Structure 1
């Protein structure tokens, strides 16, 4: 448990004390999701450090006392990096967390080396997904009620939802957020957009989308790729909203290819 930004938050980190030629990844999770949901991704990236935290009112982080927004939670994340002694990181976010990752990169450019946006949007100008799936996402009971998960499973996992055992594996890692924590996450990005600022995002950016994602349709990745100058878009065939888990090998290979690539001309110019 770490105190940062006036809050107590549960923070998880992997391999920070081990030698590495790569900067750690600061990861922002999706709405209502606890650390354990995406911990398999952290465990697969064995050559680099990884940092993730439970948002207020999710996982084991206490409920927020006051509302927050992408700017204040990005400031809080920077304080967590200070507590861990980390100067510069690669920043990554999925879904709701992709909005926070964009904000962090714009707000803390000196601490952000490269940026990865997964299954996310630029905010309000998004192309909405299936109304039934989006409507169910408003209810935090989906994280504990198998009935809700069954209804959402094809949206979450795409074609991989049919794989035996995947549902039990996913449910076993979920901890329901508190109603207050979930509501504050919804309010945090209500009306939010970064679209006007994205052309000023002077970073190398990887955008990852699932072709079968009915929660955040892949066309939202095209919008991001059009707005962000130094970006590339990768679409995972058969991938639903959680393709980072169902297409783990492909996702990790794509991440490594992007994060380990030699510095671009733009990065070399900025460094000079």
Structure 2
């Protein structure tokens, strides 16, 4: 009988890039590294439940975007091309020269798409979760989107739980306390200006005209009960991405985290596919 696999060593670092200090966590392992891009305003710890259900021997790289978690804020507003460049520099600083797989959740899905377009030879596979094409997309319900205009839910976790069902849908409709617990994982919270810069980056960006240029195998994961990014957006992306696979589930916007036991194996099977 083979011995059980154990997770590799975990390293936290602050790396100086382009005048900012970016907080990074790396769980060192083997094989193709997996880079995780957070949703808007979230610190890297929010993805802990997903990481716990991924293969323990995989190298996993997580980071806080400028102005969120433990990363310093950018001195000026920025766009996703800048963030993709910053991520490329970050991987270089970690000594990772080989192609990576990149997973983006929600806002992080925009960064993942931009990275694949901007650094095609550094991205092996692309995984897009609960995300869309930016400013040109099928919008969510206006009342829900208004609640995302401020970072209050990251600072007041009881408030986050109170709006979780209507904002995120899926499993948190019946178990809203999960969201409060997830946000409690963040030991450091970003600044309001950093959140505004992230909102601004998303408001002036779209990938809809460039999606046919993405040649990487792409997995699109979407919930049928997602009030923020309606499932129609994933169907549109699936039509435009030439090498994409669409996986629909009955959950909502953050089920990759709240229902990681079901969705992490979907990610693993896609990454292992030749």
- TM-score of the superposed pair, with normalisation by structure 1: 0.90
Among residues 191, 194, 204, which one is paired with 1:181 in the alignment?
A: 194
1:127-162, CA deviations, whole angstroms, 9 ceiling, x for partnerless residues?
Answer: 111111100000111112222431233432523432
- Structure with the largest fraction of helix: 1
What is aligned with 1:69? 79
Q: How does 1:1-16 map to 2 (within 5 A)?
A: 1-14=14-27, 16=28
Matched, 1:227 2:236: no
Matched, 1:51 2:61: yes
1:74-107, CA deviations, whole angstroms, 9 ceiling, x for partnerless residues?
Answer: 1110111111111210011011110010000000
Shift of 1:122: 1.0
Among residues 149, 165, 176, which one is paired with 1:153 in the alignment?
A: 165
Matched, 1:261 2:273: yes
Work out the number of aligned pairs and report it.
Answer: 257
- TM-score of the superposed pair, with normalisation by structure 2: 0.89
- 146-155 vs 213-222, which deviates more? 146-155
Among residues 115, 137, 140, which one is paired with 2:151 in the alignment?
A: 140
Among residues 204, 219, 228, which one is paired with 1:206 in the alignment?
A: 219
Matched, 1:92 2:96: no
Matched, 1:194 2:207: yes
In structure 1, C-alpha distance between the alignment counterparts of 2:43 and 2:173, rounded to whole Å: 21
Q: Structure 2 regions of 5+ residues with no counterpart?
A: 1-13
What SS is found at the alignment partner of 2:117?
helix
| Runs of 4 or more consecutive aligned structure 1 residues displaced over 6 Å after TM superposition | none
Shift of 1:164: 7.8
Q: Structure 1 regions of 5+ residues with no counterpart?
A: 263-272
